[in-house]
Amino acid sequence: VCTVVFFPAGTVKGLTSEQMQELDCHVILGNTYHLGNRPGPELVAAMGGLHCFINWPRGMLTDSGGFQMVSLLHLADITEEGVTFQSPVDGSRMLLTPEESIGIQNDLGADIMMQLDDVVPATNTGAAYGWVLRSM
């Protein structure tokens, strides 16, 4: 991907893949947490990856699932091991570790992947740094 590039930093709803290409979008975002819950990385992988699943021929960036530690904080329990979420859909529990996050992103077929991260104070980077190492 050549930079500077148009990249919507959020979930795109209401536009087709063709419309996104017409807007000269070269990279789109796949949400690891939500795709990991539904439809699930196994199904997406079986359909040829996220590119085929949504008919997107350009770059695909997947987030780590870490943003949901902020947006779904009331449904999350964060530990050194990772983050356990309670599904807002059916109440089931999902442990997202740094390794699991990368595994889901691999199954989704991402071109650009992000390691699991957490918003922490600048004085407390120990767990976040450990998660980076575990993602490699």
Which residue in this structure is represented by tokens 């691999």? 106
User: Among candidates 73, 7, 61, 5, which has minimal Cα distance to 35?
Assistant: 61
State the pLDDT at residue 19.
93
Give the H or E element holding residue 21: helix 17-22
pTM: 0.81
Could you tell me if 52 and 21 are in contact, meaning their C-beta atoms sit under 8 angstroms apart? no
**Mind listing the pLDDT tens digit for each residue in 45-71?**
999 999 999 999 999 999 888 777 666
